[in-house]
A and B are shown apart, each in its own frame.
Chain A
Amino acid sequence: MPAFPTAARRALDDAQLRRNLHHATHTIRAKRARAVAEVDQWERLRSNGAAIKDHTLTHLDTYLTQLEESLTRAGASVHWARDAEEANRIVTGLVRATGTDEVVKVKSMATQEIELNQALEQAGIRAWETDLAELIVQLGHDQPSHILVPAIHRNRAEIREIFLREMGQVGVGAPADLTSEPARLAEAARGHLREKFLRAKVAVCGANFAVAQTGTLVVVESEGNGRMCLTLPETLIAVVGIEKVVPTFADLDVFLQLLPRSSTGERMNPYTSMWTGVTPGDGPQAVHVVLLDNGRTDALADDLGRQALRCIRCSACLNVCPVYERVGGHAYGSVYPGPIGAVLNPLIRGTTSAVDRALPSASSLCGACFDACPVRIEIPDLLVRLRTRVVDEKRGGLPTPEALAMKATAWTLASPARLEGAQRVSALAGRALRGRERIGRLPGPLAAWSDARDAPVPAPETFRSWWKRERGER
C-alpha cells in the first residue's frame, strides 16, 4: 500500500470513482444538514456527547470493570484482547469450539480493523458479511471505502455485475435477468443472504455502544440484516473496542440522537438492537464479548489525542471532507478513512510506517470535519499535533529536505534584517520579471506548485521598504 500522496494521485485518475464519490457525499451531506437543522439545541447535544465520552475515557478502567461485571451477571462471557492477533485467536477459538465452519457477520468496524475475516479464513472458517454494502465489498474482493457506506465507490451497474458473477460461487446465485434497479439488487441480496441467516449457528458482531451499568450491547443499523444475525444463531460473539463503553442507559439518549442524524441524515435509524447477556429460550444462548484494546490505550495516553476515542464512527467528517470527496477511502490505507482515519490510525497504530506518517498531512486543515463532528473532536488541531509528532520523531537523524527547508525558513524569519535580505532577492526577481503578470514554471521542488498553477510575480518593492520610504523608520 503506497502512502497517501501516491495513492491519492492514482485515485484522482479514476473519473468514475470521482463521480460516484461526489454524488454520494453531496447527497448525504445535504441530508445530514437538514436532519441537524431540525434540532434546536444541536450544539448543546454535541457538547453533551463530548462530555459523556470524555468523562468515560477519563475513568475508563472503572467503567470497563463495571461493564465486565454487568455482562457476566447477565450470562455473557467476557474476554480481553490486547491486540488484533489476540482478538482473532479468541474469536477463532470460540467459533471452533461450536464445531461449525462458518459465521454470519453484522457490519463491524472493529472486526474490519483486526482483519478478522482473513484470520477466520486461515482457520478454515468462512465469514459471510450480511450488511448489503459489506456484501458488495466482500463479493467484489474489494476493500471498504467509507465507514458508513463501504461500497460508496461502486455504482449500480458495477454492483449488478458483481452479484451476477460472484453470488453463485458462494451460495444462492443472483437471478439471470437481474437489472441494476435498486429494488432488484436488494431482492437478489435478500435471496442470497436468507439461506445464510437460516443456516448459521454462529454470528459475529460489534457494538456501537456498551452500557456499563446494565451490560447492554447496542447495534444500530438500517437494513435489519444485523438483527437477523443477533437473533437467529445459537452463539453470538461481539468484538467491542474498549472506547465503546458508556456509563448508563440514560446516556444512550444523547448518542441515539447524535448518531443517526450525523451518519445517515435520519432522525432515527431504522433498527436499534439492544441485548443484555443471555435470555433462556430467546435469541443466542451463548454470548461472548471480546473487549479490544489494539492501540486504544496508546491513544488514551496522548493528552490531546485521546479525544479521537470519542468517535462514534458516524462518518460525518468523511462526507464533508473535500479531500475524501476527491480520492475516496482506499487512499488512506485503513478501514478508518477520511479526517478521522487520518488522526485515529497514527494514534492507535503509531507512526512507524510510511502510510501512517503521511496521514496527518492528508488534509488542507479546512476545518469542515470539526464543524460536522457530533462529539466535537478537534480534528484539525489533532492533525497538526500528529504532524509535529512525525517531525519530532525524526529529529536527531539525517535531516530531510523538508526539515532543512523549514529550518532555513525559520532562521530567515527569526530577524527582520534576515527577512529583508531574503526580500531583496525576491524584489530583484520581481524587477527582472516586471511586466509579466504571472510565472508559468518554477524549478526544483516548487515545480509541484507550478505544474498546474501559475505563480505570482514577486513585488519589485516590499511593503516594508515602501513604508520606510514613505513614512520613515517609525
Chain B
Amino acid sequence: MRVALFATCYNDTVWPQTPQAVVTVLERLGCTVEFPLGQTCCGQMLTNTGYGREALPLVERFADVFEGYDAVVAPSGSCVGSVRHQHATVARRCGQHALAERATARARTVFELSEFLVDVLGVTDVGAAFPHRVTYHPTCHSLRMLGVGDRPLRLLRAVRGIDLVELPAAEECCGFGGTFAVKNAAVSVAMGADKARHVRETGAEVLVAGDNSCLAHIGGLLGRQRAGVRVMHLAEVLAATEEVAA
C-alpha cells in the first residue's frame, strides 16, 4: 500500500525520531511510504487560538499536497483531529466552499497511526519488542475527537516483553491544550502536576502517548521534578525491536 506520511510540523522539527519510527513500522508491515516535501502544518494552533483566517492557506496546502494518496498517516491524534474536524469548517467560514469540499474528501483519507494500523492494515502485533514497564496516557484528541478507543492499548499489549500498567485517571486531560499551556499557564501546570503524580504512582519507567505535544508538557513537569520517567511516542515503542532493546 502506498502511504503518505504527514510528519506534522512540530514532530518534523523537534521530535524527528517519531516520524522516523512511523516509517520503520509501516515499512516493516510492507507499506511503501512517501513523504511529500510540500507539507508543512495542519494549522491547528492557529485555528484553535482564533486565527482561522491565517490557517486557511495551510488548509489549502494540506488538501493540495496530499491529493491522490489512498491513505495519509500522522503520528498525532491532535493534528489528525484538526484535519478531520476543522479544515472544512475553516474553509467554509472563509467563504471557500470548493476548498471545504476538497478538505472533507481529504479528511476521509487521513488516519492517526493506531487507527491506520488496526483499522486499515488490520494488524495489532507489529513485531515490536520493548522490555520495560510502561504506562499509557490516552490524549484527549485521540480519545474524544477521534475516538481511537483501545486501539493504542491493543497495539501495546502485543509488544513483546512489555510490562503495561494502568494509569490512574487516565482519561483526564493533562492540561497541555496548545496555547492554553501559556495563556493559562497556572491552571495548565496544576492539571499537569496531577497527571505527573499519577504517572509516578504507576512506577512506570516510560510514559507513552500518541501526541508529543502532551508528552512535552507532562515530560516537562516530570523532568523538572527529576522523576526519572522517560516519555516516548507510541510510534517509537512500536518501532523498537529485540535488537534495539538489547
Chain A residues at the B interface, C-beta cutoff of 8 Å: 4-5, 8-9, 12, 322-323, 326-327, 360-368, 370-371, 381, 384, 387-392, 402-403, 406-407, 409-410, 413-416, 419, 422-423, 426, 437-438, 440, 445-446, 448-449, 451-456, 458-459, 461-464, 466-468, 471, 473-474
Contact = CB atoms under 8 A, between A and B. Distances in A.
A371 to B, nearest CB: 6
The 3 closest A-B pairs by CB, nearest first: A364-B177, A453-B220, A387-B50
Contacts of B141: 367
Contacts of B15: 456, 459
Nearest to A455: B220
A369 to B, nearest CB: 10
Contacts, number: 192
Given A365-B177, A419-B9, A456 B191 contact: no
A322 B172 contact: yes
A388 B55 CA distance: 11
A414 B40 contact: yes
A9 B185 CA distance: 9
Nearest to B178: A365
A98 B61 CA distance: 69
Contacts of A5: 183-184, 186
Chain A interface secondary structure, helix, strand, loop or mixed? helix
B144 A452 contact: no
B223 A438 contact: yes
Contacts of A363: 177, 180
20 contacts: A9-B187, A322-B172, A326-B187, A327-B187, A364-B173, A392-B53, A406-B54, A410-B55, A419-B9, A423-B12, A446-B182, A449-B185, A451-B185, A452-B185, A452-B189, A454-B224, A455-B216, A456-B220, A459-B13, A459-B17
A463 B23 CA distance: 11
Nearest to B48: A384
A406 B9 contact: no
B199 to A, nearest CB: 14
A364 B39 CA distance: 27
B72 to A, nearest CB: 15
B49 A453 contact: no
A416 B37 contact: yes
B178 to A, nearest CB: 7
Contacts of B49: 387, 391, 402, 406
From B173, B175, B187, residue with most partner A Cβ within 10 Å: B187
